[in-house]
Amino acid sequence: MPAPELRICLDETDLEAALRLDARRGLTSHPKYLPMRLHYDGRGSTLFGELTRQPEYYQTRSERAILHDRAEEIADALGTDPISVIELGAGRAEKIRPLLGALSRAGRLDAFWPFDVAEGEVRDVLLELATAYPDAHLGGIVGDFTRHLAQLPDHHDTRLVAFLGGTFGNFTGMERSQFLRDLRESLRPGDWFLLGADLVKNPDVILAAYNDAAGVTAEFNRHVLYVLNHRLDADFEPDNFEHIALWDNDTATIDMRLRAMKPMKVDLAALDLDVSFRVGEEIHTGISTKFHRGELENQLHAHGFAPAQCWTDEHDYMGVFLARAI
């Protein structure tokens, strides 16, 4: 097989510029905010991995069970043609592997493309999967899937774009609509979209996942301040910010924040920017929307996708939705 093709849409310079823009824009806004993506540097990814192993954090465990138990059904639902699979936000491509295995066993895995911002991780995954799937074409995209969906590979076979892990819920309503429009424009009729989404459930279950007893979510949330300290020569005092997770029943959304526990003035030397905080002032650090099945299927249909099937875990905590571009 030929060496994997790598499409590099951004590099460290782009990531640094985006970090500076995000920090300046967010910390000079009212209310202040920092995008969720800033949490995921090396240590942030490690903390998130630890978070997924906490007993309260049902999301990863539930979605993994669906993909493990229903991989053959999902593969069958995709028809009989060879499939090129693209995973958005692939990371180590661990979530998608049961489905890759099912397609490979059926002789239908034509290609796999991990899509992620971390070039090193994309290269590592491709090297690892070259051994696991020697007959599949492999390639990778180093980019931001909110900006670079036009770079999706198109070798004229049927494509499946997978977006797993519940990340779709981290978008605002406008961002979700824009993402679905951009994705649909990048696909041909007949291509598939596989979406993992967190479903509406007892708010106590949801809140516990964002306030785990071991405090891993709190540490993960505060980690964004360490990122700014390290990358922008800032002098945040992370321990003086309280982790807050609020449930909004009207919008079915968890709102994560960091609340200042004392007056502070923070210097971001790399930006030549000073930011003041009052006691109780908050930085909004991310949302996680939960979905009713019918509501999400309506959103997909409104943006050019025909919902085909939905698989859930035994508790109906998570859903994996399959839809086809029309």
47-80 tens-digit pLDDT: 999 999 999 999 999 999 999 999 999 999 999 9
At residue 62, the pLDDT reads 98
- Per the structure, the count of domains in the chain is 1
- List the structure tokens of 289: 């929307």
**What is the rounded distance in angstroms from the CA atom of residue 102 to the CA atom of residue 76?**
9
Percent of the chain clearing pLDDT 90 (strictly above): 91
Domain membership of residue 300 as a residue range: 1-235+291-326
At residue 234, the pLDDT reads 98
In-domain check, residue 277: no
Quickly tell me which residue has 């007959």 as its tokens. Answer: 135
At residue 44, the pLDDT reads 85
Query: Which amino acid, 251?
Result: T
At residue 308, the pLDDT reads 98
Confidence of residue 307 (pLDDT cuts 50, 70, 90): very high
- List the structure tokens of 148: 């670079």
At residue 42, the pLDDT reads 74
Q: Higher confidence at residue 37 or residue 252? A: 252
In-domain check, residue 248: no
Confidence of residue 1 (pLDDT cuts 50, 70, 90): low
Answer yes or no: is pLDDT of 2 > 80.
Answer: no
pLDDT 10s digits, 202-260: 999 999 999 999 999 999 999 999 999 999 999 999 999 999 999 999 999 999 999 99
Closest CA to 236 of 262, 271, 264, 278: 264
Q: What is the DSSP letter of 249?
A: T
Cα angle: 8, vertex 14, 20; to 5 degrees = 155
pTM of structure: 0.96
> CATH no. for residue 305?
3.40.50.150
In-domain check, residue 137: yes
When the pLDDT of each residue in the chain is averaged and rounded to a whole number, the result is: 96
* CA 158, 186, 88, 292 torsion-angle sign: negative
In-domain check, residue 274: no
In-domain check, residue 252: no
* Segment 172-198 mean pLDDT: 97
Query: Mean pLDDT lowest for which of 1-15, 61-75, 108-122?
Result: 1-15
At residue 40, the pLDDT reads 83
- List the structure tokens of 100: 């890759």
Percent of the chain clearing pLDDT 70 (strictly above): 99
Beta strands per DSSP E along the chain? 5-8, 32-33, 83-88, 109-116, 137-142, 158-163, 192-198, 241-248, 253-260, 264-268, 273-277, 282-289, 305-312, 318-325
In-domain check, residue 245: no
pLDDT 10s digits, 263-275: 999 999 999 999 9
In-domain check, residue 262: no
In-domain check, residue 216: yes
**What is the rounded distance in angstroms from the CA atom of residue 223 to the CA atom of residue 65?**
29
